[in-house]
Chains A and B, each alone.
Chain A
Amino acid sequence: MEHAHATLPTVVHTVSYLRFIVLFPLLGVLFNIFLGQRLGRRAVNYVAPGMVLLSFLLAFVAFLRLPADGILVDVVWPWITSGSFQVDFALRLDPLSATMVLVVTGVGFLIHVYSAGYMAHDEDVARYFAYLNLFTTAMLLLVLGANLLLLFVGWEGVGLCSYLLIGFWYTDDEKASAGKKAFIVNRIGDAGFLLGLFLLFWSLGEKGVWTLSFSEIQAHASALSVNTVTAICLLLFVGATGKSAQIPLYVWLPDAMAGPTPVSALIHAATMVTAGVYLIARLHFLYSLSATALAVVAIVGTATALFAASIALVQTDIKKVLAYSTVSQLGYMFLGLGVGAYSAGVFHLMTHAFFKALLFLGAGSVIHGMSDEQDIRKMGGLKDKMPITWGTFLVACLAIAGFPGFSGFFSKDLILEEAFVSEHGSWLLWLAGTIGAGMTAFYMFRLLFVTFYGKTRASHDVAHHIHESPVSMTCPLVVLAVLAFVGGYFSLLRFLSPIFGEPHEAPVPFFIKQLPTLAGLSGIGLAYQMYVRDPGMAERLAQQFSGLHQLLANKYYVDEIYDAIIVQPVVAASNWLWQVWDTLVIDGTVNGTAHTMEANGLLLRLWQTGNVQNYALSFLVGAIVILGYYIW
């Protein structure tokens, strides 16, 4: 299957209602900040999800009115104007952004509802929903922005909300640190994003096109030289590796699990972390021009998919398993994009949003029922006590494992087929992805079996309290389970064809098509063998290969390595700069020269006495050195 050349959706229909999609959650933010405390929990529980629902409904109407031949654009106001640099605050709805908006508001609404139940005992619920609504606002800006700068505004905005929500329980220093880490690592990516944006802007400017709007970039992209395009794409991809947690900037995501679990579901699984995928899909016309950039995207994606999956194999914290799984699945999306199968990547983005949000919410339900326990070694046997959670979790596991008929089966298989047959693909990418698929199925079913099957390993007190979650939590689970099943049947590829071009079938060899599914089934089988039929087997293997097990359990020691080669040296250097350079060298030169001169009695002849003049003179001496260099 190959994509034909992308056709441009040329007709622009100007509308003025897209802004309200963004505005509703923003109103929710203001409500929560200014009235939330006063009006109380009930009001907040209705208003916050209600605003997202309004957004969803409006987005759905807009989606229905989306003309087949064009896009909807809403220019709200001219934002920054500086010389030739002019950027509007403009929103754009096309099949790609419509898909994203519906996922963000749809899944977002379910998670808001779920949150009302999950946060029922937290006194700070107004602040929580203010952040969550603000996140929705920023995410909608990200996907609806009609130009690269507005996308960046949303991009930073979601990063901020991520920071705030990870550290939501701020009195815990570890959680606050996790939030900070997320923000800073993302900022490193953002630096790359900004540089890519600058290069794009000036390169197009040299061709006489002064714009950052997606339509115009697309219209003139071919004027750029291939090397320039490659540089732009790679710089922007640095940003994507930050936001979408790819090697080498993935390290913040596992820590981000410190946030409330619904936040992990919404931000760190379904929506925000897919922003990097969206960015590349949005700019697919640039990436298509550079085989090098595509190759880098594909290789980094595949490497991350395997790397993170291997870590997920041995993690014992239910949310950490899911976090590494998310990193790994994002890798698959990048693999899809990197082989030029943009719609396959976006397809997987959507199905993943369904099943991964469901997994996180299921995990949240488990944690809720287990009195805040997250260690799966202390769980077990929850199947009967939490039947809805178990059933929906099972659906999600089948979906992510690529079980035939479930949503993940369609999207993941599509990516792997494309990896094999696409002109940008290779059998190596396919093979790595297939191995990863087996690992995915294994670690997911390991999680399922250890958590829900066997006998409970919880303490008596905890076991006594285990209960199914309230309706506000189980309801979203059921809806998401339905989506996780049927999501694969949405004809997204056709819907996206105005953006990415018509998919046309290429013959895929039988084994290539079937092996990933087989790998998934084997993974499930192996997990069943190791954790249900012979529960001691995992332990024996861990002892037999203790070195490998330690390496994986400690996540390849990447955090420790980063700390040793980046964080510690920077802090040490800063201290040195301050205490040695600033205090001793610069100030010391000033003071020291003064003292020397004083000792020689030079100054005494010129002025009366005191520090004042010493400084002046010594300072002049220093300044003259610099000036001398400049003038001669």
Chain B
Amino acid sequence: MVSAIVFTPLFAALILLMLPPEDEEGARRLAFGASLLTFVISLGLLAKFESGTADFQFVERFAWITDFGIQYHVGVDGISLFLVLLTTFLMPLVLLASWDDVHKHVKEYLFFFLLLETGMVGTFVALDMFLFYVFWEVMLIPMYFLIGVWGGPRRIYAAIKFLLYTMVGSLLMLVAILYLAYQYNAQHQTVTFDLLRLYDLKLSLIEQKWLFAAFALSFAIKVPLFPFHTWLPDAHVEAPTGGSVILAGVLLKMGTYGFVRFAIPLFPEAAHAAVPIIMALAVIGIVYGALVAMVQPDLKKLVAYSSVSHLGFVVLGLFAFNVQGVEGAVYQMLNHGLSTGALFLLVGVIYERRHTRLISEYGGLWKQVPLYASIFMVVMLSSIGLPGLNGFVGEFLILLGTFRANPLAAILAVSGVVLGAVYMLWMYQRVIFGPITNEENAKLVDLSRREVMIFVPLLAMMLFMGLYPRPLLTRMEKSVEATLARVNVLRQASPEQSRRAQHEQLPNSIGATHASPLQTAPKLIAER
């Protein structure tokens, strides 16, 4: 089933190439249909997923390049499950959104999108390091072309900047992957790239640090973590709407996913050593991204910088190394995919009509396009983490987890919650409220039926994830705990276990029977 999700888009992409070039409508239908089919198949994953285990499910595995022990090995757990779903969910919406938007080389545009989907899903499900790397690189090419061909005026600059930043990171990562396989061979006399086996590799601290650094740099660029973020605003501004949505909605998650799947569990001690630096960068990113977003004159740049801020939260949660922080981070990845994806779609809607993204060009839109304004309002509130909508659950859990790991970081990060409201509300006011000052805006037409169809599923998910997060959180829980167990924080120190200990030793004096997680965690690391 997993392979079907990975390769359906690729298959459709290949068929697409065989269609006659003038049949644009047919190509659109085919691509949309394929992405919809992929989504439906991925719902099967959700239906059959067992939440009681941390094991990878729907595993498919067979030898690929036997001489180097490279396998085709894919599967999902509670973390990747929802990222796959996010990808397959966003894809049809994006294709629907670019229905009237893109008229240049339609077939190629769709081809690259479908190829991109294969790359993205593959990256999330790959359990073989080499396979992962292949998918990781497969993603880059279509995105490069999507920006470089269908982008704005400075698209070449932006596309190259995007490619280079990402390539630099991924080359280092490749070296690190090869080193891992080499070490495994040295220790076990077999070559393998199997992630699950590499988890058990024994590495000295200094080795870990180097390898972690190589992975972390690659992922930090992708996230992007401050100060590796300057490719992002350029890429977003130049990318076509669909490209921005996928870039923000899914591609950025590759970085955070990479941390939680690879960098952290493979090199736990190094990850611990890096906590102060990464937390500091994350907090700086949160505040910095929000402040810079506040003064952006361009809507897309504003949303791009807000991503820097939001992804800072995700990284902060991951490096809190407790259940709440990591679950919140995974949840926030999904939230960000929905709300920032929706924000880019909304910007795309008015860009398509007015061909400008400057905030100062707008104002007073509510009067003219009330439906658009109302949907914009909900998306904005989701983005600033209003309770009842999805953003709150993730942000709250992240801050809760961070507060335990490092209260100072939480205190600083909370200011991001305030600033988030500042830049969003200010932008919204300038675009939507006030009198209509620009005559052009008086001619705007409200959302078409097709456009409404794009936003309804997004809004429905925002509400659902805000009101009833449990189905998602319970499916994540075991996998998150397993990851944390590898980082060795959870063992003996989890709240559950302390609670269990509490119950067993209830007659003893409360609180004295066990040390707090905060105190035990560093000790465990030191002992290891």
Contacts and interface: CB of A to CB of B under 8 A. Distances in A.
Contacts of A631: 206, 209-210, 213
Contacts of B168: 615-616, 619-620, 623
Contacts of A82: 323-324, 327-328, 397, 473, 477
A190 B417 contact: yes
A80 B367 CA distance: 38
B387 interface: yes
A575 B288 CA distance: 11
A153 B391 CA distance: 13
A149 B399 CA distance: 13
A173 B435 contact: yes
B411 interface: yes
A101 to B, nearest CB: 20
Given A195-B414, A586-B227, A180 B477 contact: no
Most buried by B among A77, A177, A574, A631: A574
Nearest to A578: B292
How many chain A residues sit at the interface, stated as a range, is 35 or more
Interface stretch (B21-29, B452-460, B493-501): B493-501
B492 interface: no
A590 B231 CA distance: 11
Interface string B504-521: 000000110000100000
Nearest to A590: B230
A332 B477 CA distance: 47
B426 A180 contact: yes
Contact of B213 (A167, A170, A630): A630
Interface stretch (B67-75, B103-111, B159-167, B191-199): B159-167
Interface in A539-579: 570-571, 573-575, 577-578
A611 B228 CA distance: 18
Contacts of A187: 417-418, 421-422
Interface in B461-478: 467-470, 473-474, 477
B425 A180 contact: yes
Contacts of A198: 399-400, 403-404, 407, 410
B217 interface: yes
B230 A582 contact: yes
Interface string A170-199: 111100110010011001101100110011
A153 B167 CA distance: 43
B433 A157 contact: no
B164 A612 contact: yes
Contacts of A84: 323, 494-496, 499
A223 B510 contact: yes
A591 B154 CA distance: 16
Say whether chain A's binding surface is mostly helix, strand, loop, or mixed. helix
Nearest to A193: B414
A82 B429 CA distance: 36
A183 B421 contact: yes
A491 interface: no
Contacts of A629: 277
Given A173-B434, A578-B295, A210 B411 contact: no
A615 B167 CA distance: 10
B477 A184 contact: no
B386 interface: yes
A461 interface: no
Contacts of A536: none
Contacts of A423: none
A83 interface: yes
A69 interface: no
Interface in A573-632: 573-575, 577-578, 582, 586-587, 590, 611-612, 615-616, 619-620, 623, 626-627, 629-631
A298 B477 CA distance: 44
A534 interface: no
Nearest to A567: B422
B164 A619 contact: yes
Contacts of A575: 295
A183 B429 CA distance: 12
A170 B418 CA distance: 22
A294 B165 CA distance: 55
Contacts of A590: 230
Say whether chain B's binding surface is mostly helix, strand, loop, or mixed. helix
A170 B366 CA distance: 8
Given A207-B511, A612-B160, A83 B291 contact: no
Contacts of A500: none
Contacts of B495: 83-85, 205, 210
A208 to B, nearest CB: 4
Interface string A62-105: 00000000000000011111111100000000000000000000
Contacts of B477: 81-83
Given A83-B495, A184-B425, A630-B277, A171 B435 contact: yes
A382 interface: no
B160 A611 contact: yes
A79 B465 CA distance: 10
Nearest to A186: B421
B435 to A, nearest CB: 5
Nearest to B274: A630
Contacts of B209: 630-631
A157 B477 CA distance: 29
Given A82-B323, A619-B168, A631-B213, A208 B498 contact: yes
Nearest to A175: B433
B294 interface: yes
Given A173-B435, A578-B296, A620-B168, A202 B328 contact: no
Given A191-B418, A206-B511, A630-B277, A78 B403 contact: no
A178 to B, nearest CB: 11
A200 B417 CA distance: 20
A183 B213 CA distance: 41
Contacts of B396: 80, 149, 194
A202 B400 CA distance: 9
Given A574-B295, A578-B292, A615-B160, A171 B474 contact: no
A582 B399 CA distance: 27
Interface string B305-342: 00000000000000000111001100000000000000
B496 A83 contact: yes
B33 interface: no
A555 B386 CA distance: 32
A17 B165 CA distance: 58
Nearest to A170: B433
6 contacts: A80-B393, A160-B386, A188-B418, A191-B414, A570-B294, A616-B168
Give me the 10 closest cross-chain CB pairs, A-B, nearest first. A83-B323, A84-B495, A176-B433, A198-B403, A153-B387, A208-B502, A574-B291, A170-B433, A615-B164, A191-B414
Given A207-B511, A208-B510, 5 more contacts: A80-B396, A171-B364, A188-B418, A191-B418, A198-B403
